[in-house]
Amino acid sequence: MNIDKIKMVKPNNKEVITSINKDFTNIVNGEIKLNTGLASLSVNLVNSNIFTSEVINLVKGTDNKWLPSHFNAFAKIMVRDVLEDNFKQFDKVKKQALKKAIKIAVGFIVAKSLAKFTNDKHINAKGQIAVNSSKFSPTMKKKFDSKQEGGIKALTVKDSVSYVNDVLGLSDSNKNSTLKAQLEKVLATITNEKAGYGNDFVELPADCRNLYVPVRNKLQSIIDFLQIEKEDKKLYANK
């Protein structure tokens, strides 16, 4: 996939961009709860109409299933074409919020399931999103409509993520990732005192030494990111 060849059309209505930027401001400044801001951003992305069927199909391409890389591509394209900003320099909190909101929005668009409550609003006072339960799979009906009442259901951001994961055939986020398992295995190996490694990297096999620098640099970037306390609280709240 070459995202340079995929273009999003910036909405002519300036209020659309204003609303999206307002969501980002609220999320970054903590003026409202993170999940409320994510709900608003997700809904605004659906209503912006920037995620056209053409853009969605081009990003997914010939892949048989949705992948995290697709949502990263959507985010890069949107930042470039709609927000007219540099993705590499884009605020980290905004970037994480955007990727999550895009996944929710794409799921709603694919399923055509975004609805409104009786007050004609997509989001209620609790920050829950109105979703048409007629679009639920049997699994989602059991989870969110166990009484089989039908109609409009109010889903939290966390619920919405579970729902769109089902729509898009993605693994639920609460399941252990392959990366987590790999990291645990590596950590167990390099800190194994019985093997003579402990915390002394000098003792590691010589054939690993060419990998020391890129591993160190990657770990340092992770450490730097996690040390930003204000951003951490917003990124990992309610998880």
Q: Which tokens go with 6? A: 């995929």
pLDDT, position 71: 93
User: 214: pLDDT confidence band, cut at 50, 70 and 90?
Assistant: confident
State the virtual CA torsion across 85, 29, 235, 168 in degrees, nearest 10: -60
Element at 130 (helix H, strand E): strand 129-132
pLDDT band at residue 37 under the 50/70/90 scheme: confident
Q: pTM of this prediction?
A: 0.70
At position 145, the amino acid (one-letter code) is D
Q: What is the DSSP string of 43-97?
A: HHHHHHT-S-HHHHHHHHTT-SS--HHHHHHHHHHHHHHTS---GGGS-HHHHHH
Q: For the chain, what is the radius of gyration of the CA atoms?
A: 21
Contacts with 95 (C-beta within 8 Å, 6 or more apart), sequence order: 75, 87
Q: Which pLDDT belongs to residue 177? A: 46
Tokens of 155: 């889903």
CB contact at 8 A, 138 and 162: no
pLDDT band at 55 (very low <50, low <70, confident <90, very high): very high
pLDDT at residue 29 greater than cutoff 90: no
Q: What is the pLDDT of residues 84-122, one digit of tens each?
A: 999 988 888 888 889 999 999 999 999 999 999 999 999
Is 11's pLDDT higher than 90?
Answer: no
Return the SS3 of 131. Answer: strand
Tallying the residues shown for the chain, one arrives at 239
